[in-house]
Structure 1
């Protein structure tokens, strides 16, 4: 209140975990906010640095081409180079270009991929060939990825331009589903109470979950159980995989607690057991 207006305080409090509910900022929530801000600034600085490096490399390439054009034009203006010499030089350049056509094509495709398509930035979590990786470094010809086991993988940009790339960071808020099973003898009142309890929990975590969710019955399995599914939507995308996993784990534990409090269980069907009497005297 000393430094900010009420509107600004309401905006700032939303950045800290639990601050809107309690009206106070705890030391742990403030520490988490500082860490997130530091990581975001670090990723931004890394991205700007790599982008600057790629632009410098492109600038050197363009400067070399422009220098050659200026040199040829200067020789023509000063009449030092005759038309025969110009034709000879151009022929040699065409020959060199034919010899290195694959390299020229790769450089052109890499430039198009980095500066025009630009499907990711430094720090983005992407999926390429079914493997989750984080973009570590971007250059004109190659991009360096960091796999989940901290192994660095180098991809030529000319190869990446031909592959489908899934970018978690640029994706919208993603959804998750939890499948669980209850006994078919569970009453409708208990199922309605279960839905209300789940709704109350989801709405109590506005920083974690979108209030729009659904609890549906998928099927009756083996005549003795209901297979149900809880579909929820995150307030973040899956860029931060660790935070997403912790939220799902907390939701599953809360669902288990709700089922226990409501006494909703699952029991196997009675099994038929046949006993046969064996006369041991016949075996002696």
Structure 2
């Protein structure tokens, strides 16, 4: 909003000081208006996709998500669209990011903190050693 006010104030300053005329502003503004008419929606979609992917960031590649009651695995994430694979049928599903903004996404992260889990194989240990390991874990 402040950028718009600065531009309007600058144009009014040019007109009031006589450095430019209304015809020159129309000559400069017409291509800008045409560019906005042709590419305005695409640029809006592009920037919304960037905000969705980098700011909202609801999932990562490899995550399992539930969208529209379907269990989907995230295959690729792009600025325009995100590609999923249905877990049960392996069908590829492509959602535009603008559609994903308005959907409820339940994310089941597949990246776990493996430092929280320790596997201990007790096959080769005797009962005395197992009891010592239990005591150390409790401590």
TM-score category of the 2 structures, normalised to the smaller one: 0.5 to 0.7
CA contact (8 A) 1:143 1:154 kept: yes
Structure 1 residues 168 and 100, CA, compared in 2 at 3 Å: closer, same or farther?
same
CA distance, structure 1, for counterparts of residue 104 and residue 74 of structure 2: 15
| In the alignment, structure 1 residue 169 sits paired with structure 2 residue 114 | no
4+ runs of 1 displaced by more than 6 Å? none
In structure 2, which of residues 91, 103, 107 is the aligned counterpart of residue 151 of structure 1?
91
Q: CA deviation at 1:93?
A: 1.6
CA distance, structure 1, for counterparts of residue 74 and residue 25 of structure 2: 45
Structure 1 residues 138 and 86, CA, compared in 2 at 3 Å: closer, same or farther?
farther
Instruction: Specify the alignment match of 1:108 in structure 2.
Output: 47
CA contact (8 A) 1:122 1:136 kept: yes
Q: CA deviation at 1:89?
A: 3.4
Q: CA deviation at 1:167?
A: 0.4
Gaps of 5+ in 2: 1-19, 113-117, 120-139
| In the alignment, structure 1 residue 94 sits paired with structure 2 residue 33 | yes
Structure 1 residues 144 and 95, CA, compared in 2 at 3 Å: closer, same or farther?
same
CA distance, structure 2, for counterparts of residue 150 and residue 86 of structure 1: 56
Q: Which structure carries more relative contact order (alpha carbon 8 Å, separation 6+)?
A: 2
Query: Which has the larger Rg?
Result: 1
How many residues end up aligned between the 2 structures? Answer: 92
TM-score, with structure 2 as normaliser? 0.56
TM-score, with structure 1 as normaliser? 0.29
Gaps of 5+ in 1: 1-81, 173-205, 208-284
